[in-house]
Amino acid sequence: MSRPGRDDAPDRLYTVTQGRSSSGPDNPFDLVTLVVAECAPMPGMQSEHTAILRLTEAPTAVVEIAAELRLPVSITKILLSDLHAAGRVSARHPYTAAVPDPDILEQVLVGLRNL
Amino acid sequence: MDSAISDARTPASAPARTPLGAAADNGLKIVVVGGFGVGKTTMVRSVSEIRPLNTEETMTQAGEAVDDISEVRGKSATTVAFDFGRISLDARNVLYLFGAPGQERFWFLWDRLFSGTLGAVVLVDTRRIDDSWYAIDRLEHHGTPFIVACNDFGGPEHSPEAVREALDLDPRVPLVSCDARSRQSSKQVLITLVEHLQAHYAGPTARPRQEFA
């Protein structure tokens, strides 16, 4: 199976996040938050951080990063929080509202019709 | 029917990643939910600008926050895998289309994964309508607007009225037929959903009823 994470030993995930397994409810990253690198990878960085900084040279959604890294989404969010706290990535969070902005819905419709 | 069930493995010849434009700043979500083998991945693949990718989310029972992985080992962790694709709508808006299983164990990850989703497409195989009841019930419970799309598997035709009755569907919820293998047809399903969202949010009096196109 090529599914990320599932067959990995928990020890690997433990090491990747230094023991944290839950990104917690206050983690601001959404599946579709677009992440952008603010610096180049540096020697000695954790390999997952290096991989994220390379992936996010162009805006890249959290879920794409998780898929490319073959890590569960929650683990990916922890890694992104660390990089964000260190100022190494910036985050473009989705415009969320209880009721979607009519202008955004119209833009979605126009975009779909133009496919 | 080409059934590409949750198989998003990359052929060796697949092109490298296609990056988004630098101005992209708003990610949007639409979820395609349905039973096993109903064509979710096929639909995502039909309209996606990238090869569908596969990832997963894991959490322990009842949504407890667990800070120590030793605790995870003692509990039954639920893992839900899902496929997704991407459509760049314009320079700033990027739509992510998620194919998600409809089974029971999936739903307690819904809030965590798909809160803020624009809406959902319930993909139905009319030979196995029962598979869709649970998904429709949960979407109603979560207040997520949705439409129902019957994937055409070439079986006997079912009238829209029969499908609507079998699903006990609210008359305001659009019901369409589609061929998930077709880009044009899948695109039309998404357009129908977004038009439904516009009507849904414009007020209860403005919600049109739609039938098979």
| Residue pLDDT, tens place only, B53-107 | 999 988 765 444 444 444 444 456 778 889 999 999 999 999 999 999 887 778 8
CA distance B188 to chain A (A): 8
Of A3, A22, A55, the CB nearest to B56: A3
CATH number of the domain enclosing B146: 3.40.50.300
In a domain, B44, yes or no: yes
In a domain, A4, yes or no: no
pTM recorded for the entire structure: 0.84
- Determine whether the interchain pair A115/B187 forms a contact, defined as Cβ–Cβ distance below 8 Å: yes
- A51 part of contact set with chain B, CB < 8 Å: no
Give the pLDDT of residue A49: 97
In a domain, A83, yes or no: yes
In a domain, B35, yes or no: yes
ipTM above 0.90, yes or no: no
Burial class (CB in 10 A: 0-12, 13-18, 19+), A34: buried
In a domain, B18, yes or no: no
> What does the alpha-carbon distance between residue A94 and residue B2 come to, in Å, rounded to a whole number?
34
Chain A nearest-CA residue for B88: A111
* Domain hosting residue A80, numbered range: 10-113
Number of domains in chain A: 1
In a domain, B213, yes or no: no
Which residues make Cβ contacts (< 8 Å) with residue A95, sequence separation at least 6?
Answer: A101, A104, B26
Q: What is the pLDDT along chain A (115 residues), one digit of tens a residue?
A: 445 555 555 566 667 777 676 656 567 899 999 999 999 999 999 999 999 999 999 999 999 999 999 999 999 999 999 999 999 999 999 987 778 899 999 999 999 999 9
- The amino acid at residue B35 is G
Instruction: Report how far apart, in Å, the C-alpha atoms of B156 and of each of B26, B148, B153, B168 are.
Output: 42, 18, 9, 20
In a domain, B208, yes or no: no
Chain A nearest-CA residue for B77: A6
Q: What is the pLDDT along chain B (213 residues), one digit of tens a residue?
A: 444 444 444 444 445 678 999 999 999 999 999 988 899 999 999 999 999 999 998 876 544 444 444 444 445 677 888 999 999 999 999 999 999 988 777 887 787 788 889 999 999 998 888 888 889 999 999 899 999 999 988 777 778 888 999 999 999 999 999 999 999 999 999 999 999 999 999 875 544 444 444
In a domain, A46, yes or no: yes
> What does the alpha-carbon distance between residue B41 and residue A14 come to, in Å, rounded to a whole number?
31
In a domain, B172, yes or no: yes
Q: Chain A 1-30, CB below 8 Å of chain B: which residues?
A: 2-6, 10, 13-14, 19-22, 24-25, 30
In a domain, B121, yes or no: yes
In a domain, A18, yes or no: yes
Tokens of A23: 């990104």
CA distance B128 to chain A (A): 27
CATH number of the domain enclosing A65: 1.10.10.10
Of A10, A73, A107, the CB nearest to B90: A107
From start to end of chain A, where are the E strands? 34-37, 60-61, 89-92
In a domain, B151, yes or no: yes
